[in-house]
Amino acid sequence: MRDVEAPSPADSEAASQDRAAPEPPTTVTLFGYGFHVGTASAIVTAVAARRSDGPRTIVTANVDHVVQLAEDADFRGAYARAAARTLDGMPLVWLARVASGRPAERITGHDLLACILADPPPYARRVFFVAARQDVADMLTTRLQAAGLPDGAVASAVPPFGFEDDASYGSALAARIRAHGTTLLVMGVGAPKSEVWVDRQGRALGNPVVFCVGDALSVAAGCLPRAPWLMQRLGLEWVFRFLCAPRRLFRRYFIESWRFIGIAVRDRVSGRRD
C-alpha cells in the first residue's frame, strides 16, 4: 500500500489561483495537505471572498478519505486543488492536535450546511444541489425558500448511478449549473465522486463555492438521523452510522479503514524526520 502523496508543484500552483486572496484562518499539515483550522463560518467566508474563474471547493476529510487518497490519483488532485480542507473525522482532529500542538476542532459537512440554511449569506444567493435523492433536494429547497431565498434561486439534480464517468451527462449537468448562475454548489453524492467530478468539470461550472458534504445533505433534509451529540464528541459517530446501515458500511469501517493506522503512523514518522 502506498502512502498518501503530497501535491506536486503543479497541483499547488493550480490550487492557488489568486495568491493575493484572503486565506482561511490557520492550517495544519497532515498527509501532505494543509487542513484549515477555525470556525466553519470563518473558513467559508474566506473561501467565498477569493477571486477565481473556477470553482472554490471545500472538502471535509475523514478516515475514509485518507484511505482513498492513498490509492486514487484523481482524488489526490481534487484535494490538492481544493480551496479549503477541513477536519471532519475525529481521528484526524486528534492527529492535528498532536502534530501542531495547537487547538483543532472538527468541521463537518453538517457545519458547512448550517452556515447557509437558517440565514443564507450572499454567497448562497443562487444554490444548486446535486443530491442522491429528489426528496432530499426538495426538502432543502423548501428550507432555503423559508429562510428568504426567492422562487427560482434554488435548483437541483439527481444524477444517475455512474454519472461521474459519463462525459455527455457530466457536460450537460455542468452547463445546467453554470446557466443557473450558481454561487453555491452543494454536492451530496459521496466521495470521491463529488470531489473528482467537480475538479474535472472545473471552469465549466462557473466559479461557485462548492461544498462536498456526502450524507450530511440527507441529514439536513431530515431523511437520515445523526448520531447523538456525545457520540460525536467521543469520535463514535461512525458506530451510529454503521448501526443505521450495516450492510453498506461494514467493509468501509471494519476492513478498509484499518489501513488508516499505517498511513497515520508513516505520516507522523515522516513529519518528525522533517
pLDDT band at residue 3 using 50, 70 and 90 as cut-offs = very low
SS3 44: helix
pLDDT band at residue 7 using 50, 70 and 90 as cut-offs = very low
pLDDT 10s digits, 198-238 = 999 999 999 999 999 999 999 999 998 898 989 888 888 88
SS3 59: strand
pLDDT of residue 42: 93
pLDDT of residue 66: 97
Mean pLDDT of all residues in 71-89: 96
Residue 176 has pLDDT above 90, yes or no: yes
SS3 12: helix
Q: β-strand 84-87 against 33-37: which pairing, if any?
A: unpaired
Task: Compute the distance between CA of residue 71 and CA of residue 272 in angstroms, rounded to an integer.
Answer: 24
- Higher-confidence residue of 26 and 176: namely 176
> Residues 154, 186: contact at Cβ < 8 Å?
no
> Residues 9, 61: contact at Cβ < 8 Å?
no
- DSSP state at residue 234: T
Task: Compute the distance between CA of residue 103 and CA of residue 109 in angstroms, rounded to an integer.
Answer: 20
Around Cβ 98, how many Cβ atoms within 10 Å? Answer: 12
Task: Provide the grid cell at 14.
Answer: 493550480
pLDDT 10s digits, 90-99 = 999 999 999 8
pLDDT of residue 273: 52
pLDDT of residue 252: 85
pLDDT 10s digits, 102-155 = 888 899 999 999 999 989 999 999 999 999 999 999 999 999 999 999 999 999
Q: β-strand 33-37 against 26-30: which pairing, if any?
A: antiparallel
Around Cβ 82, how many Cβ atoms within 10 Å? Answer: 25
> Residues 102, 30: contact at Cβ < 8 Å?
no
Residue 241 has pLDDT above 90, yes or no: no
pLDDT band at residue 156 using 50, 70 and 90 as cut-offs = very high
**Average per-residue pLDDT for the chain:** 88
pTM of the model: 0.86
pLDDT of residue 127: 98
Residue 21 has pLDDT above 80, yes or no: no
pLDDT 10s digits, 183-194 = 999 999 999 999
